[in-house]
A and B are shown apart, each in its own frame.
Chain A
Amino acid sequence: SQTIHQWPATLVQPVGSPLSLECTVEGTSNPNLYWYRQAAGRGLQLLFYSVGIGQISSEVPQNLSASRPQDRQFILSSKKLLLSDSGFYLCAWSVLTSRGYTFGSGTRLTVV
């Protein structure tokens, strides 16, 4: 069966420090991968999506970047965190998007 792993679960980082969040998927090949951010426990904002290795599309201009070094690995990064980068970050995957996404359990990032 397919599973998605996202870590760490929580992270507290100082302003100006780098960030690396990792997401891996098991049990499927060639998934579409997504990074979302959720602020204040409400709406989901799509940050990046990827349809293949090395293929990254950015939805909104921001202080973050994404990479997909392997088929089932998706990484969210920042060189220097801002206070406004705090939030709940969710990774998701799909093979057939019309069947919906499967989300990871999320990373709660607090920038202090």
Chain B
Amino acid sequence: GQQLNQSPQSMFIQEGEDVSMNCTSSSIFNTWLWYKQDPGEGPVLLIALYKAGELTSNGRLTAQFGITRKDSFLNISASIPSDVGIYFCAGLVIQGAQKLVFGQGTRLTINP
């Protein structure tokens, strides 16, 4: 099946630093989404991308849909303690029913 390769798996940064993570795939996706999961909670949608080349911001978060439709990145500027969590990329698959394929996640830890 289709898989998303998300990197890095973990990040340890200082508060105030910028963060960058990305997802790549061997398959084309028409929709990319980025989620954040706080400890013990379900993932929450951060940003959705629908067009190749699209660049979308949500506060300090910026995500882009790669031109090839096979990749996407998420940047977080000026990190703060509440940014801690696991970030997941997801691509939309249409095989019978529509489903999302998730990356393995990037665990972000911030040192104050």
Q: A42-B86, A42-B104, A51-B97 are in contact. Are A98 and B42 (CB under 8 A)?
A: no
User: Interface of chain A, helix or strand or loop or mixed?
Assistant: strand
B interface, over-half SS: strand
B108 within 8 A of A: no
| A97 touching B102 in the complex, CB below 8 Å, given contacts A44-B88, A103-B43, A103-B44 | no
Nearest CB in chain B to that of A98: its residue: B31
A100 pairs with B48, CB closer than 8 A = yes
Asked if A105 and B42 sit within 8 Å, CB to CB, the answer is yes
Residues 42-62 of chain B, each 1 if its beta carbon lies under 8 Å from chain A, else 0: 111100101000000000000
**How many positions in chain A have a CB within 8 Å of any CB in the partner chain?**
25
* Chain B residues whose CB sits within 8 angstroms of the CB of A106 once the complex forms: 40-42
Considering only residues 74-110 of chain A, those with a C-beta below 8 Å from chain B are: 90, 92, 94, 97-106, 108
Question: Which A residues lie within 8 Å of B99 (CB)?
Answer: 34, 46, 49, 97
Cβ-Cβ contact count across A and B, 8 Å cutoff: 60
Min CB distance A53 to B, Å, is 14
Q: Contact at B102–A43, with CB atoms within 8 Å?
A: yes
Residue numbers in B under 8 Å from A94 (CB-CB)? 98
**CA separation between A108 and B42, bound complex, in Å?**
11
Q: Are A98 and B50 in contact (CB under 8 A)?
A: yes
Cα–Cα distance between A41 and B43 once the two chains are bound (Å):
11
Write the nearest CB–CB distance from B57 to chain A, whole angstroms. Answer: 17
Chain A residues close to B by CB (< 8 Å): 6, 32, 34, 41-44, 46, 49, 51, 57, 90, 92, 94, 97-106, 108
When distances are taken between beta carbons in the complex, the residues of chain A under 8 Å from B30 are: 98
Partner of A43, one of B41, B45, B105: B105
- Residue B110 is within 8 A (CB to CB) of chain A in the complex: no
Shortest Cβ distance from A106 into B: residue? B42
Does B96 interact with chain A (Cβ within 8 Å)?
A: yes
Task: Determine the chain A residues whose CB is within 8 A of the CB of B88 once the complex forms.
Answer: 44
Contacts of A108 in B (CB 8 A): 40
CB neighbours of A32 from chain B (8 A): 97-98
